[in-house]
Structure 1
Amino acid sequence: MLRVGLTGGIGSGKSTVARRLAELGAVVIDADALSREVVEPGSAGLAELVERFGEGILDESGALDRPALAAKAFADERSRLDLNAIVHPKVAELTARRMAEAPADSVLVHDIPLLVEAGYAPNYHLVIIVDAAEDVRVQRLVGRGLGEQDARARIAAQATDEQRREVADVWLDNSGQVEDLLARVDELWRDRLVPFEENLRRRQRAARFGPSLVDPDPQWAAQARRLIARVRRAAGERAVRVDHVGSTSVPMPAKDVIDLQLTVRTLADADALADSLTEAGFAHVPGGELDTPHDFAPEPEQWAKRLHIAADPGRPANLHVRVEGTASWRVALIFPAWLRADPAARESYLALKRRVAEAHADDTDHEAYALAKEPWFADNLPKALAWADSTGHTP
């Protein structure tokens, strides 16, 4: 099952995207609808609200009078916390039940307004943000009957664009025509969501193309942070640390593949995490148990690791799981720092990468590409380690 978080500011068009995804075949769980369901007449949730806030929060039919509840629940901080303590656990329980009821091969879309504000992004394989220019959103809200000042106040009270961009794997701009938005949703469904779900279900990595170098992308760092948050959630207490490594962390021209290193205490911990990392979207790749040993640390155990590769066809990534203190662990952390500090080394490595990428353009698994760089590493990794020793740099 592919878990997708869908959110966006008020007036952005999030509901339009949710409806389209449902039409395409997604299972959509609407957080707002569930929050209403848990306080329907006769529910335990409504009974608890009445017990806390009084009969005055009911209308003549016995249903919840939301404006009356708001007047009491938001009168002070204690009342607001009491409201949340009653409603939020019931919504969470109902959400979990609906998710468990969804078919195993679902693209499950959780439509949740406060995803960013609540810090829920790492709970999903993918987060979609729907956005529109503020003036467009205000115009839409005014058309629904809100005053302009009220509309702008509500927008200002929600997450900022910067906060949303930090968690957005997919950013859908809905400032234009709805037909354009729907076309982008259809493309997203076809090219990313459906194959991502299949890869998760089959526990396989996403397909790749040959090693083509691209210029540094300003989004690499944010993309790595999102992946790191998911790895941390999946690894739990077995994670010592998770780092963005490799050429995209320098940054420098590179394959458009984010490399991460998950540090664990033992290889047994790495093996114990295989299933949870695979379920989080990083498929375990058998055969990736050893980096190439080098003379300065010839023992094979110094280069042992486990390899996971992203199942997401829209964001290629490698996850190297290594034991803290081993040679391969140390090299992975020191090497990009050395390249950042030494322009000549960086240029030498880039020239090598360009030659090797051209020579192995048809190498879809990138193994021959990686092996062709090993002689350069044999000559230069000792220089990187010497730089770390001389400067006092520690991973």
Structure 2
Amino acid sequence: MLSIGLTGGIASGKSLMSQRFRELGAVVIDADQLARDVVAPGTAGLASVAKEFGPGVLQEDGSLDRPVLGALVFADQRKLAALNAIVHPLVRAAAAVLKSAAEADAIVVQDIPLLIETGQGAHFHLVVVVDAPVEQRMARMVANRGMSPVEAVARMDAQATDIERKAGADVIIDNSGTPESALVALDELWNSRLAPFAANLAANRCAVSQGPAVIVAPNPAWAEQGARLCARIMLAAGQNAVAVEHIGSTSIAGLSAKDVIDLQLLVRDLSDADAVTSALAQAGFPHRSGQWWDNGHDFAGGSVAQRWEKRFHNAADPGRPVNLHVRVAGSPGAVLALEFRNWLRADSIARKDYESLKRRVATEHCADADTAGYAQAKEGYFATAVPKLLEWLRQTGQA
């Protein structure tokens, strides 16, 4: 199933998006509702809250007095943390039960106000953030929820900043305009990305990538995208993973590149690479059949000398092309990928030369049906680049 995390600042419009997700056919799990359920009268959660904060947070009928509790915790970060330590594990357990009951091909959307704050982003295939300016959200809280400006500020201060939420977002839905505009954006996301992504996951297939290589200007967002993807892959691979790294052109600031994120998962041996195949597929990175080897370069002589074994995966997500190379830690292919990245990050002349090559080769293959010819045409470059890389390693004391 496709698992989506939905979040946003208070009064940003998550409820509006959740309702549309339901209308589109998603299974929506509302963390706010679960947070109320787990502290309902007679629950262990409510007993724990009363023990932590005293009987004053209970109404005469024994139910939770939310305004009283809110006044306590949103004025004191330590008390808020204590409340979250009680409620969050209960909510996650309840959400897991609901998610496990969904169909295998479902799109499950978990509406979680504190998704970013609680570091849950890596547990989802995508994180969707609903965004609206602070001033607009404050006006909504005062007008629609009866809060004072002071109360509204306290609620916002208890959450992540807009910058932090955007850094954790794979998709941002702008809800600063009319509700209709935000719903149109969500519909487009569903049709062009989420529904195809879910279908690819169910079929255990990679997203189709067609057309020639297109070199685009450097995108500062590539680094954050790579970091989010690395975290998901590390979580999926578990104990079989040694490390996950962002490699390739998109990992090098200032370098024009194809809009494809290349990642390297390091494992201890190839049996571990095979052992994580299913988990990687479930996380959104199916194995690409027939991709078993690197073109190798002999570090001793700098020429193409051998072929190094690896495993290769692509993203099932049509909205974010990814190449995932699974290599043994310390193997020639793994070392070359990482050191080539480090060299281009450090050497502006080498970086400029490589970009010139990429642009020239892309132009030569601009009429191709795919990127295979472009990739093959670059191979000769590496035979001459490896000696330069080795010289840089020696000069910097790394070889």
TM-score by length of 2: 0.91
- The residue number in structure 2 matching 1:272 is 275
Give CA deviations for 1:243-291 in whole Å, capped at 9, x if unaligned: 1111111231110001111111111111111111111111111221111
Indicate conservation of the 8 Å contact 1:263/1:322, yes or no.
yes
Query: After the TM superposition, which residues 50-69 of structure 1 pair with which residues of structure 2 at under 5 Å, given as runs?
Result: 56-69=56-69
- The residue number in structure 2 matching 1:333 is 338
Helix, strand or coil: the match of 2:110?
Answer: strand
| Aligned-pair CA distance for 1:340 | 3.0
Identify which of 308, 311, 323 aligns with 2:328: 323
| Aligned-pair CA distance for 1:362 | 5.1
| Aligned-pair CA distance for 1:231 | 1.1
| Aligned-pair CA distance for 1:315 | 1.0
Query: After the TM superposition, which residues 201-216 of structure 1 pair with which residues of structure 2 at under 5 Å, given as runs?
Result: 201-210=202-211, 211-216=213-218
Helix, strand or coil: the match of 1:291?
Answer: strand
Distance 1:58 1:182, change over 3 A: same
Helix, strand or coil: the match of 2:294?
Answer: coil
Matched, 1:389 2:391: no
Paired with 1:48 and 1:236, the residues of 2 have a C-alpha distance of 33
Paired with 2:358 and 2:72, the residues of 1 have a C-alpha distance of 64
- The residue number in structure 2 matching 1:103 is 103
Identify which of 235, 240, 243 aligns with 2:242: 240
- The residue number in structure 2 matching 1:148 is 149
Helix, strand or coil: the match of 2:297?
Answer: coil
Paired with 1:173 and 1:71, the residues of 2 have a C-alpha distance of 30
Unaligned runs of 5+ in 1: none
- The residue number in structure 2 matching 1:114 is 114
Query: After the TM superposition, which residues 60-79 of structure 1 pair with which residues of structure 2 at under 5 Å, given as runs?
Result: 60-69=60-69
Distance 1:72 1:151, change over 3 A: closer
Helix, strand or coil: the match of 1:207?
Answer: coil
| Aligned-pair CA distance for 1:31 | 0.3
Segment of structure 1 superposing worse, 7-16 or 87-96 = 87-96
Paired with 2:273 and 2:81, the residues of 1 have a C-alpha distance of 40
| Aligned-pair CA distance for 1:96 | 0.7
Percent identical across equivalent pairs?
A: 53
- The residue number in structure 1 matching 2:222 is 220
| Aligned-pair CA distance for 1:79 | 6.7
Distance 1:80 1:15, change over 3 A: closer
Query: After the TM superposition, which residues 357-372 of structure 1 pair with which residues of structure 2 at under 5 Å, given as runs?
Result: 357-361=362-366, 363=368, 365-372=370-377
Paired with 1:45 and 1:265, the residues of 2 have a C-alpha distance of 43
Indicate conservation of the 8 Å contact 1:133/1:175, yes or no.
yes
Distance 1:48 1:387, change over 3 A: closer
Paired with 2:348 and 2:58, the residues of 1 have a C-alpha distance of 70
Helix, strand or coil: the match of 1:213?
Answer: coil
| Aligned-pair CA distance for 1:117 | 0.7
Distance 1:204 1:361, change over 3 A: farther
CA RMSD of aligned residues (A): 2.4
- The residue number in structure 2 matching 1:172 is 173
Indicate conservation of the 8 Å contact 1:209/1:363, yes or no.
no
Distance 1:73 1:172, change over 3 A: closer
- The residue number in structure 1 matching 2:319 is 314
- The residue number in structure 1 matching 2:381 is 376
Indicate conservation of the 8 Å contact 1:208/1:364, yes or no.
no
| Aligned-pair CA distance for 1:151 | 1.4
Give CA deviations for 1:12-51 in whole Å, capped at 9, x if unaligned: 1111111111111111100010111122234343355456
Indicate conservation of the 8 Å contact 1:310/1:318, yes or no.
yes
Segment of structure 1 superposing worse, 211-220 or 365-374 = 365-374
Unaligned runs of 5+ in 2: none
Segment of structure 1 superposing worse, 156-165 or 343-352 = 343-352
| Aligned-pair CA distance for 1:59 | 3.0
Q: Which amino acid aligns with 1:235?
A: A
Query: After the TM superposition, which residues 191-202 of structure 1 pair with which residues of structure 2 at under 5 Å, given as runs?
Result: 191-202=192-203
Indicate conservation of the 8 Å contact 1:221/1:249, yes or no.
yes
| Aligned-pair CA distance for 1:157 | 2.4
Matched, 1:259 2:249: no
Q: Which amino acid aligns with 2:20?
A: R
Q: Which amino acid aligns with 1:36?
A: R
- The residue number in structure 1 matching 2:2 is 2
Distance 1:87 1:363, change over 3 A: same
Segment of structure 1 superposing worse, 47-56 or 362-371 = 47-56
Paired with 1:157 and 1:78, the residues of 2 have a C-alpha distance of 11
Segment of structure 1 superposing worse, 346-355 or 247-256 = 346-355
Give CA deviations for 1:67-89 in whole Å, capped at 9, x if unaligned: 34557778988876664454333
Matched, 1:185 2:186: yes
